Amino acid sequence: ALVDRIGAVDGAVHAFLHVDAEGALATAADIDDRRAKGEQLSYLAGVPIAIKDVLATKGMPTTCGSKILEGWIPPYDATVTATIKAAGLPILGKTNMDEFAMGSSTEHSAYGPTHNPWDTTRIPGGSGGGSAAAVAAFEAPLAIGTDTGGSIRQPGALTGTVGVKPTYGGISRYGLVAMASSLDQAGPVTRTVLDAALLHELIAGHDPMDSTSIPDAVPPVVAAARRADVKGLKIGIVKELGGEGFQPGVEARFTEAVELLTSAGAEVVEVSIPSLKYALGAYYLVMPSEASSNLAKFDAMRYGVRVAPAGVDDPSAEQVMASSRDAGFGDEVKRRIILGTYALSSGYYDAYYGSAQKVRTVLARDFAAAFADVDVLVSPTSPTTAYPLGEKLDDPLAMYLGDVATIPANLVGIPGLSLPVGLADEDGLPVGLQFLAPQKADDRLYNAAAALER
Ligand code: GLN
């Protein structure tokens, strides 16, 4: 049914960069056989899934939405992919994304944008617009996204799906093509909180292949999603994430959701995180710095396309690298590589990268102080609903501003969940509410979100 659904709607949505109908159907048939034989299977065996094209999938193209990796077929699986395969989830294919996960609208994909299933003239959010749109358009019940500054949660908000960025280190980054290694985190994209918890618990856990992987036990997220009880829970509204720049319809749904939490027994207070005003600036230094370093490996020697420089008879390796990177990378990727290279250059490192890292420390302290008083924090996930395709494409700064509510979680490594909380009055488009919790307390997000969902 899902393969048919993809065939029927993906021409208009373009959630997928690669569909593996044959492989998915073969896995599904195999699971049916094994189940018929009475074999003990994973609780998600047979449930199809779509995977963001930034995670390595052995034998299946992995492009990261970039021309530079066109035709690359990884010889290995990301740990998340391997776990999904071992648990018997049919992989429907790879989903569209902004090139190397750089963007908030999926318009920076080298293979054309994804369209929001609620209104195909609008963006689905990004960078993981493909995963969110696939779930929202009923092309897949589950998807994997990655979130460096909001790429799971913001598309979730804009498409009316549940998106979770787990605690940094909660899910292995092995085989996740790095954008900014200290911020990247994979996580679930689903239609319900319990679905997200089931997928989270499957893919989480320690991985010796990822040196930043947390060795502790996985937070009990499924039990928390089933508990769904906010009686006595202390919830803090982040004062700085609202008001000016936030669309009235987004604020209205947010306020209403908070009232529902209060009537369900939660105690709601206002909380201030003063350093939040520096978060966006710090993010847009740390992220390009790390990206400029991570993307240096795309040199046309080891991966992907190689483009000979025009009019040069016997080009040097350096000339081939330059022409390949020029042809293979899109404008947004080049912009960030240049910004990051500048921020890391000798003489500027302390002023830019160094200062940004200090902001990160201050932010972590402010969040810790807030969590000394409350169990979870809430804010709108995105200041606006889905905007028309093209609207912010030529104004990078305007697009970056849309990440204001999501990037703090990445800077301090805490988990965040975006829950659909209805439609904005002015445009009838989905609104998301974000829950934030302290590091390793991912279960609190699921408990509170499931209570509100109910
Ligand atoms: N929109 C943010 C950016 O452009 C976040 C991207 C992400 O989380 N991958 O960097």
* Per-residue confidence (pLDDT) for residue 424, from 0 to 100: 98
CA distance 290 to 296: 10
- Reported ipTM: the value is 0.97
- In the three-class reduction of DSSP (H, G, I as helix; E, B as strand; rest coil), residue 262 is classed as helix
pTM, entire model: 0.97
Buried b (16+ CB within 10 A) or exposed e, 126-147: bbbbbbbbbbbbebbbbbbbbb
Is beta strand 186-190 parallel, antiparallel or unpaired with respect to 430-436? Answer: unpaired
Contact 109, 127 (CB under 8 A): no
CA distance 384 to 382: 5
Ligand 1 centroid to Cα of residue 148, in Å, is 5
416 CB less than 6 Å from ligand 1? no
CB hemisphere CA count around 70 (13 angstroms): 15
Name the residue of 107, 127, 183 to mutate for ligand 1: max ligand atoms within 8 A of Cβ. 127
Contact 55, 135 (CB under 8 A): no
CA distance 125 to 286: 22
* Per-residue confidence (pLDDT) for residue 304, from 0 to 100: 83
CB atoms within 10 A of CB 426: 12
- 418: annotated active-site residue: no
Residue ranges with strand state E in 198-325: 234-238, 267-271
Q: Measured from the CA of 332, which atom of ligand 1 is nearest?
A: 4
287 CB less than 6 Å from ligand 1? yes
187 CB less than 6 Å from ligand 1? no
Ligand 1 centroid to Cα of residue 326, in Å, is 22
CA distance 213 to 129: 26
Which structural domains are found in the chain, ordered by start?
A: 2-278+357-453 (3.90.1300.10)
- 52: annotated active-site residue: yes
* Per-residue confidence (pLDDT) for residue 335, from 0 to 100: 96
Cα–Cα distances in angstroms (integers) from residue 131 to residues 187, 363, 412, in the given order: 11, 30, 25
CA distance 268 to 259: 9
Is beta strand 49-52 parallel, antiparallel or unpaired with respect to 162-165? Answer: unpaired
* Per-residue confidence (pLDDT) for residue 454, from 0 to 100: 84
Cα–Cα distances in angstroms (integers) from residue 190 to residues 49, 138, 182, 240, 308, in the given order: 10, 10, 25, 28, 43
CA distance 33 to 315: 56
Ligand 1 centroid to Cα of residue 34, in Å, is 40
* Closest C-alpha to 176, from 148, 141, 206: 148
CA distance 258 to 380: 11
What DSSP designation does 172 have?
-
Contact 420, 386 (CB under 8 A): no
* Per-residue confidence (pLDDT) for residue 72, from 0 to 100: 94
106 CB less than 6 Å from ligand 1? no
Name the residue of 185, 407, 411, 418 to mutate for ligand 1: max ligand atoms within 8 A of Cβ. 407
Q: What element of type H or E holds 431?
A: strand 430-436
Cα 351 to chain centroid distance, Å, stands at 29
* Per-residue confidence (pLDDT) for residue 196, from 0 to 100: 98
Q: Mind listing the pLDDT tens digit of every residue in the chain (454 residues)?
A: 999 999 999 999 999 999 999 999 999 999 999 999 999 999 999 999 999 999 999 999 999 999 999 999 999 999 999 999 999 999 999 999 999 999 999 999 999 999 999 999 999 999 999 999 999 999 999 999 999 999 999 999 999 999 999 999 999 999 999 999 999 999 999 999 999 999 999 999 999 999 999 999 999 999 999 999 999 999 999 999 999 899 999 999 999 999 999 999 999 999 999 999 999 999 999 999 999 999 999 999 988 899 999 999 999 999 999 999 999 999 999 999 999 999 999 898 899 999 999 999 999 999 999 999 999 999 999 999 999 999 999 998 889 999 999 999 999 999 999 999 999 999 999 999 999 999 999 999 999 999 999 8
* Per-residue confidence (pLDDT) for residue 200, from 0 to 100: 98
Rg of the chain over CA atoms, in angstroms? Answer: 21
Residue type, 17: L
